[in-house]
Chains A and B, each alone.
Chain A
């Protein structure tokens, strides 16, 4: 069974850092692009970043460029999001998702909540 399990969320002060992890199982992890999507409380979905199969290509939404870094460890079947210089507007549930060839996401984790507040 395909599973994506996020961890690492929590309360952090503005300007702080946090590293999110997504543990993947039930599929050949290095066959897939992976994505982070976030959802602020009561708001819509926002695509954050994605990474290709071997980690050599990464893409970001403008609002996190230079502050967030997506990475992966294919040997550990894990996806990461290193977040720094966090702002209150980064407060959201962060989901990891597996990409299909079409670029859509049929598998999502349950999400991890990041709260940026003093």
Chain B
């Protein structure tokens, strides 16, 4: 199956700093990737759809200036949490559809962000 890798898996930062999370498709090309955040015992909430070579599409209520998404190549999308605050602490997960038309989403391992 397709492999999606996220880095870093854990990050702790001070309030006010920016944090970048990378999502890579290792063995396939992904023109579209999705970013989710998940709070404890809650559902995955779709934040944005990342499109290679164009602007990301953000879900309602997600601040695009706060969560910067860049999808500069067919194998890499990045999410930058700018001026992070403690309420941004969460589990961030990316996903992509593999090749073929199976409808199966492949997820990264997730990135746990803790803002002090």
A, B bound: no
Which residues in B have some Cβ–Cβ distance to A below 8 Å?
Answer: none
Which residues in A have some Cβ–Cβ distance to B below 8 Å?
Answer: none
